[in-house]
């Protein structure tokens, strides 16, 4: 049925999709403003990232250099490597190769990463804040919280998503997240990307269309995912920011602007993604956390409130 509607839609200039995505955009917009509590947000005079904040607001994306030292990131990568060796720690991983299997199963998994990486685009650790408790401490980083508060113009910001993922180079076609799209889980979402290895143009940097968080052509609602040619035609190739970076740098972007992960030409990229928003994201699973007292660091009452839209493990 879905395929028939899609075919019919493409015959009529994707008019159904245009109406559908415009309706979703409007719903998100009204939801955002109905739930939005504007407060006066204060930054300390010593806040070191005021310029970056300005750029983030105007361009939609920033890179901040050397936020973490390389040993901290190496620890995180080690943790990923440790977790990914147990099949139970992985979220269901879709097989993209044309073989008689839809998802990575234990049989393929047991043959090792070198083997199974040929068949899929990425693997993800499920419930990262439970499997790797130190990631929660990173998500509660005061700098990220301050940036989010100032970006959204409110003290009421929340952690609404987390993703701990390794993307592989292989010869499979670009996957969903490797085509330009705007996230539609919320009217505004801020994502912090922390690469766990150096990322150059060949290792699949995050790519963002500058200023596209502020304006996008209405007709771009005709489709969810767009190819590079369309984006270049609309915004020009100079508008594309390719977030190559060294270990320790972080990228922050409002992903309601057009973005994608570039396809890899070699090796792999491991990345932690943290989402911040002013309300729970639509159509997303709630982030799972452990009981507050089970974490090996103190979580203040203010931080507990930032975790309001998570679900605590029984
Ligand atoms: Fe996205």
pLDDT in tens, 112-143: 999 999 999 999 999 999 999 999 999 999 99
Sole residue written with tokens 């790519």:
207
* Residues contacting residue 135 through CB under 8 Å, at least 6 positions apart: 76, 128, 129, 162, 164, 272
Nearest to 122 by CA among 138, 104, 140, 107: 104
The CA 104 to ligand 1 mean position distance, Å, reads 23
The pLDDT of 293-301, averaged and rounded, is: 96
What distance in angstroms lies between residue 213's CA and the mean position of ligand 1's atoms?
12
User: 162: CA distance to ligand 1 center in Å?
Assistant: 12
Distance 257 CA to ligand 1 centre (A): 9
CA 167 – ligand 1 centroid, Å: 14
User: 281 alpha carbon to ligand 1 midpoint, in Å?
Assistant: 13
The 10s digit of each residue's pLDDT in 153-186 is 999 999 999 999 999 999 998 777 789 999 998 8
Going from the Cα of 294 to the center of ligand 1, the distance in angstroms, rounded, reads: 31
In the block, residue with structure tokens 């975790």: 307
Q: What percent of the chain has pLDDT over 70?
A: 100
**Ordered strands of the 206-209 beta sheet:** 240-243, 206-209, 259-261
Q: How far is the CA of 177 from the centre of ligand 1 (A)?
A: 6
Q: How far is the CA of 100 from the centre of ligand 1 (A)?
A: 28
Rounded CA gap, 8 and 2, in Å? Answer: 10
Q: At what angle do helices 15-35 and 2-11 cross, to 10 degrees?
A: 110
User: What is the domain partition of the chain in residue ranges?
Assistant: 2-90+121-312
Compute the distance from residue 243 Cα to the ligand 1 centre, in Å. Answer: 14
Ligand 1 centroid to residue 293 C-alpha, Å:
33
Q: Is the pLDDT of residue 35 over 80?
A: yes
Cα(304)–Cα(291) distance, integer angstroms: 11
Q: How far does residue 290's CA lie from ligand 1's centre (Å)?
A: 26
Ligand 1 centroid vs 256 CA: distance in angstroms?
A: 8
Contact 138, 35 (CB under 8 A): no
What does residue 277 show for φ and ψ, rounded to 5 degrees?
Answer: -155, 180
Give the domain 2-90+121-312 fold.
Jelly Rolls (2.60.120)
16 pLDDT tier (thresholds 50, 70, 90): confident
| H or E segment to which residue 222 belongs | none
The alpha carbon of 57 is separated from its chain's Cα centroid by a whole number of angstroms, namely 18
What share of the chain in percent tops pLDDT 90?
74
pLDDT in tens, 229-281: 999 999 999 999 999 999 999 999 999 999 999 999 999 999 999 999 999 88
> Residue 135 has what pLDDT?
98
Asked whether the predicted pLDDT for residue 1 surpasses 80, the reply is no
Tell me the HSE value of 160 on the side-chain side, using a 13 A CA sphere: 21
């Amino acid at each position: 049925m879905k395929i028939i509607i899609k075919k019919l839609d493409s015959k009529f200039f994707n008019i159904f999709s245009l109406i559908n995505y415009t309706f979703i955009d409007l719903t998100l917009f009204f939801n955002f403003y109905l739930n939005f509590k504007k407060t006066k947000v204060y930054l300390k005079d010593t806040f070191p990232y005021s310029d970056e904040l300005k750029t983030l607001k105007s361009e939609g994306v920033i890179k901040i250099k050397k936020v973490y030292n390389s040993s901290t990131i190496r620890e995180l990568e080690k943790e990923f490597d440790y977790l990914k060796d147990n099949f139970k720690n992985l979220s269901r991983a879709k097989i993209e190769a044309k073989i008689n299997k839809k998802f990575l199963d234990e049989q393929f998994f047991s043959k090792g990463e070198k083997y199974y990486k040929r068949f899929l685009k990425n693997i993800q650790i499920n419930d990262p804040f439970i499997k790797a408790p130190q990631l929660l401490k990173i998500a509660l980083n005061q700098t990220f919280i301050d940036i989010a508060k100032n970006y959204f113009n409110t003290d009421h910001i929340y952690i609404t998503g987390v993703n701990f993922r390794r993307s592989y180079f292989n010869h499979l076609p670009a996957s969903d997240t490797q085509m330009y799209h705007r996230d539609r889980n919320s009217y505004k979402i801020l994502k912090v990307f922390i690469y766990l290895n150096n990322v150059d143009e060949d290792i699949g940097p995050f790519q963002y269309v500058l200023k596209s968080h502020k304006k996008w052509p209405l007709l771009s609602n005709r489709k969810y995912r767009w190819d590079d040619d369309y984006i270049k035609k609309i915004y020009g190739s100079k508008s594309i920011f390719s977030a190559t970076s060294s270990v320790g740098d972080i990228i922050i972007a409002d992903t309601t602007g057009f973005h994608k992960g570039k396809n890899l030409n070699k090796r792999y990229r491991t990345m932690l993604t943290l989402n911040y928003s002013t309300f729970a994201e639509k159509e997303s699973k709630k982030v799972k956390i452990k009981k507050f007292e089970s974490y090996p660091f103190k979580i203040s009452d203010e931080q507990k409130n930032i975790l309001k839209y998570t679900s605590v493990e029984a």
